[in-house]
Structure 1
Amino acid sequence: MTTTEPRPYPFSTPERLDPEPLFAELRERQPLVRVRLPYGEPGWLATRYEDVKVVLGDPRFSRAAATGRDEPRTRLHQAPPGNIMSLDPPEHSRLRRLVTKAFTARRVEQLRPWTRRIADGLVDAMLAKGSPADLVEDFALPLPITVICELLGVPYEDRVDFRVWSDAFLSTTKFTPAEVVEHVGRLREYMAGLVAARREAPTDDLIGALVVARDEEDRLSEDELLSLAEGLLVAGHETTASQIPNFAYVLLTHPEQWELLRADPDLVPRAVEELMRFVPLGLGAGIARYALEDVELGGVLVRAGEPVLPVLNSANRDGSVYPDPDRLDLRRQGASHVGFGHGPHHCLGAPLARMELQVALDVLLRRLPGLRLAEGEDENGGIGGSGGIGGIEWKDGLATRGPARLPVAWD
C-alpha cells in the first residue's frame, strides 16, 4: 500500500440532499484521494466521471478480489458468501442471467399498466383520507414494495418485518453491530423459509424460478440463491422507495421545474434521468473495486491490490461532463448519468426502477397537480437551504438518503 496518510471519510455529515461540498474541489485538484472509511482498510476515492466509469467498467478493477479482505465501507455489514455484488464475470454473468429476464425493457413495459393502477389506487386512498398525507408511507413505500413482492413471490403482509431487516442491511449507524447481525440473520432465515415453501409447492414467481435453477439445473449454489433473493428484495424496493420522495421534494423546492412538468408531461422520462443525476441517493462512496495490476487513474498510480471507491454522486456533478452541473434542468441532454452504476454491475433492476419512477411522477402530476409541501417551502427554493421545512423527517444512519416522512398537501 502507498504511504499517503488517508483522510477520514465521510468528510462531513450529509445535510438533506445537499452534495458533499468537498467533491467539487477534489474533482478539480485531487480527483483520486486516499481515505479511511469507518470500516475496513484504507482506499482511494475516485470523484471524476471518467475515472468512476473506469473503476466500474475496466476488468483491471475487481469485486471478487475483495473476498477475504476487510474492504473499505461506510456500513458494518459486508456482503455474505455468494452475493452477486462480490463476483466478477463470468461468475457474476452466470447469476445475472438467471434474473435478467424478469427485468428486460419489454417485460417491464408489460408491468406498466398494472403499476399505474397500483399508483392510482394509492392516490385514491390519499384523496379519500384527505390532505395532508405522508408521501412516504402513503405512496412511495407501498408502490415499489407491492411490485417487488409480486415479482418475487414475497407476501406483502410481511413488509413490516422485511423493512426492518432491509434497514439493518443498509445500516451505517442506525443499528448496533449486534442488531445488524440479528436482523440480517432473520432476513436470511425468512428467505430460506420462502425457498423451502417453493420446494414443497412450486410457484411461477422469481423465487420459484431460482429454486428450479438451483434444484433441477444446478446453475447456482444454495448460498447464491439466498443471497440473490435477499438482494432483490432489499434493492428492489428500498432505492425506488427513497427516490420517489426525493424526486418529489426536489421538484416541490424547484417549483419552476414542477410547473414545467405540469405543462409538458411528456418530459417525465427525461426528468427521471435528470433527477437520477441530480439527487445524491447514497451517502457517497460506492462499493470498492480492487486493482488487479498497477493502473494509472486520475493522475495517480494505483498499485495492484489497492481498493478504489467510485463516488457516483460526485461523478454525476462533474462539470467537465455536465454544464452547470449543480442546476436542475429537466430538459438536459448529453452524457448519461451513472446513478444506476456502469459496467458489469450496472443495476439489473434499472428498467423496473425507471418505469416505477416515471409512473409515480406521472400519476402525482396528473392526479395531484396542486401538490405542495404541507408545512411551508424551503426559504431558498433549493435542495437544503438554511430554512427548515417543518414536518419533514430525514433518514439517519442508513446508506441511502431521503425523507423518512414527507408531509404533503394539495389544493
Structure 2
Amino acid sequence: MSGTAESRSAVSAPDGGRDWRTVLASSDVYTVLSDPVVMADPLPLAAWLRDNAPVYRRADGEYLVSRYEDVSRLFRAPIERIRVEAAGVLRSGAMEDHPSVRRLADTIGLRNPPEHTRLHQVYMRYFTPARVSALRERTRAIVADSVRDLTERLTAGEQVDLHHLATDLPTHLMSLLLDLPPKDVSWLNTCVWHIEQPFDPTITDARLADADRSSQELDAFVVDLVARRRGGGGSDLITALADTRDDEGGLSQNDIIAMVFTILAGGVPTVASVIALALWRTLVRREHVDSLAGSPGAAAAYVEELMRFESPAMYSPMPRVAVRDIELGGEVLPAGSRIYGLITGANHDPLAFQDPGVFDPSRFDPSSRRRSDSAVLAYGTGIHRCVGAHLASMEIEVTLDEISPLLSDLRVDGPVTWGRTSYIRSVSTLPVRLGASAPARSERRRP
C-alpha cells in the first residue's frame, strides 16, 4: 500500500519532486503549505512529513503531526489531556488587543467543555441530518437556477468562472436561513473571511488590521439584527438563536454573535471553497466523473472520497495544547506543547486507507464499502467535528449532480488561482469554456 501512495505522489508532483528536507530547513512549513504549487497538490509534502517527520517540530516549538492514528488521537483526546486554547490563535502580541482574535476565541471551536457542550447542543438543534435533508430541494432549486444561467452564458461562447457558481449556492442558502438579502450575506462573507485570517501563521499586520475592522463591523450588524428580530416570531435562524432558552436561560449577546459568525464561516466561505475545489478536481482529473451517475449512493460516496483525497482543510487551525505529557508518533511531547494535525497527511496514510493514492469513490459506496478504510478526517472528529458537515456535503452533492450534464463538455480555460491562507485549499478562480482545450495552470492570487 505504501508503494502505491509513494508512486502517486511522485508521478503527480507538479514541481518535479522537491528535496523537502532542504525546503523545510530554509522555510517555515506553513509558508510552504501556502505555496500555490503545493496547494494544488500537497500530497508529496504530506507524504514526506508522514514518512520522515511524523511529529514535525517548528522552530517556535509547535508540533505538526501527520499520521492518521496521531491526528485522530489528537482530535479525540479528552480535555484532561488536550485542550483547545484561544490564546494560541495569535502567535505574537496580546490577544485582547485584537477584536478579531477575541471573536475567534468566543466561537465553539475554541471552547472546551462544559461551555462547548452547552453550545454544541444548541447548534445541533438546527443542523440535524433531518433538517439538512429538508433543505435538499431548496438547495437543488438554487443550483438549478445558477446552472441554467451558466449554461446560457457558456452556449453564447462566454468564458465563465465556476468560483461564482461555488459561491452563489451557499450565499443564497444562507440568505434563506438567516432571512437576509444575498448582498448582506455577501458582505458578511467578506467580513468573516477577514476575521478568520489570524488563524493563518503567515498573517501580516495589514491583514490583521482588516480582520479587526471587519470584526467590529460584523458585531455591530448582528447586535442590531438580533435586537430587531428577538421576540418577533420569525422562522429564521437569527430569531431562533435570539429566542433560544436552555438550562442556563437565554444565550448571551456574545454567544449569539459567536454562533452567527460560526454559522456564516462554516456555511459560506468554507463551503464555497470546498465546492470550487470539488469542481476543479472533477474537471482536471476526470477519470471518475462517470461514477457520479452510478448507484443511488454514488454522489455521496464520490463526495466522501473527494473530501479524503483532496482534504480541503490541510490542517486544523485550532490551537490544541497538551495538558500533560502525551505520546504521539513514538515521541513524548511535554505538557504545554501546542500541537496541530495535518489532515492531508492523515487522509492519505496507507495504514488507514487501502491504496490511498488512488481516487476510488467505491470505497465509500454503501454497496461495496471496504471495512479496512478508516473514517475521513476532512471535517475533523471528536467533539470539535464540524457541526455543519451534513449541510456542506449535501451542498456539494447537489452541485455536482446538477452540473454533471455539462461536465463532459467543459474545459478549464486559463489560469486557476489559489487563495493565500495556508490551512485551507481555496480555489479563487476557475475559468471554463465549452469545448476549450487550454491546459489548467495554477497561480497564487496575490494580495
TM-score range, shorter chain: 0.7 to 0.9
How far apart are the structure 1 equivalents of 2:56 and 2:193?
Answer: 30
| 8 Å Cα contact 2:232-2:239 kept in structure 1 | no
| 8 Å Cα contact 1:214-1:222 kept in structure 2 | no
Note the residue ranges of structure 1 that are not aligned, 5 or more in a row.
376-389
1:357 aligns with 2:357: no
1:153 aligns with 2:191: no
Structure 1 residue 200 displacement after superposition: 6.9
Helix, strand or coil for the counterpart of 1:25? helix
Structure 1 residue 260 displacement after superposition: 3.4
How far apart are the structure 1 equivalents of 2:66 and 2:384?
Answer: 18
| 8 Å Cα contact 1:45-1:310 kept in structure 2 | yes
Aligned with 1:27 (options 44, 50, 54): 50
1:230 aligns with 2:230: no
| 8 Å Cα contact 1:240-1:353 kept in structure 2 | yes
Aligned with 1:294 (options 325, 348, 351): 325
Number of residue pairs aligned between Structure 1 and Structure 2: 385
| 8 Å Cα contact 1:55-1:310 kept in structure 2 | yes
Change in Cα spacing, 1:45 to 1:71, as seen in structure 2 (3 Å) is farther
2:71 match: 52
1:129 aligns with 2:148: no
Change in Cα spacing, 1:212 to 1:57, as seen in structure 2 (3 Å) is same
2:411 match: 373
Helix, strand or coil for the counterpart of 1:184? helix
Larger helix fraction of residues? 2
| 8 Å Cα contact 1:214-1:221 kept in structure 2 | no
Aligned with 1:402 (options 403, 426, 430): 426
2:271 match: 240
RMSD of equivalent CA atoms: 2.8
How far apart are the structure 1 equivalents of 2:384 and 2:421?
Answer: 25
2:339 match: 308
Q: Which amino acid aligns with 1:232?
A: I
Change in Cα spacing, 1:71 to 1:403, as seen in structure 2 (3 Å) is closer
5 Å-filtered alignment, 1:15-94, equals 15=37, 16-19=39-42, 21-36=44-59, 42-59=61-78, 60-64=80-84, 66-69=85-88, 78=101, 80=103, 81-94=105-118
**Which deviates more from structure 2 when the two are superposed, residues 19-28 or residues 317-326?**
19-28
| 8 Å Cα contact 1:270-1:331 kept in structure 2 | yes
Structure 1 residue 50 displacement after superposition: 0.9
Structure 1 residue 407 displacement after superposition: 1.5
1:166 aligns with 2:188: no
| 8 Å Cα contact 1:17-1:280 kept in structure 2 | no
| 8 Å Cα contact 2:171-2:186 kept in structure 1 | no
Helix, strand or coil for the counterpart of 1:141? helix
1:168-191: CA deviation from partner (whole Å, max 9, x where unpaired): 123344853222211222122222
1:384 match: none
| 8 Å Cα contact 2:283-2:407 kept in structure 1 | no
2:238 match: 207
Structure 1 residue 273 displacement after superposition: 0.3
Structure 1 residue 210 displacement after superposition: 1.2
1:132-187: CA deviation from partner (whole Å, max 9, x where unpaired): 321111x1111011112222333322133223212212334485322221122212
Q: Which amino acid aligns with 1:345?
A: H
Helix, strand or coil for the counterpart of 1:317? coil
2:284 match: 253
Helix, strand or coil for the counterpart of 1:409? strand
Helix, strand or coil for the counterpart of 1:408? strand
How far apart are the structure 2 equivalents of 1:144 and 1:314?
Answer: 28
1:9 aligns with 2:29: yes
Change in Cα spacing, 1:34 to 1:359, as seen in structure 2 (3 Å) is same
1:218-246: CA deviation from partner (whole Å, max 9, x where unpaired): 24322111111111112111121111121
How far apart are the structure 2 equivalents of 1:309 and 1:57?
Answer: 13
| 8 Å Cα contact 1:136-1:406 kept in structure 2 | yes
**TM-score (norm. length: structure 1):** 0.85
How far apart are the structure 2 equivalents of 1:97 and 1:285?
Answer: 22
| 8 Å Cα contact 1:62-1:291 kept in structure 2 | yes
How far apart are the structure 2 equivalents of 1:240 and 1:331?
Answer: 24
1:109 aligns with 2:136: no
How far apart are the structure 2 equivalents of 1:7 and 1:402?
Answer: 22
| 8 Å Cα contact 1:46-1:308 kept in structure 2 | yes
| 8 Å Cα contact 1:149-1:156 kept in structure 2 | yes
| 8 Å Cα contact 1:286-1:311 kept in structure 2 | no
Helix, strand or coil for the counterpart of 1:392? strand
Q: Give percent identity, aligned residues only.
A: 30
Helix, strand or coil for the counterpart of 2:332? strand
How far apart are the structure 2 equivalents of 1:398 and 1:47?
Answer: 16
**Which deviates more from structure 2 when the two are superposed, residues 219-228 or residues 229-238?**
219-228
Structure 1 residue 396 displacement after superposition: 2.5
1:218 match: 249
| 8 Å Cα contact 1:18-1:280 kept in structure 2 | no
How far apart are the structure 2 equivalents of 1:35 and 1:28?
Answer: 17
Helix, strand or coil for the counterpart of 1:318? coil
How far apart are the structure 2 equivalents of 1:298 and 1:250?
Answer: 31
Structure 1 residue 199 displacement after superposition: 2.8
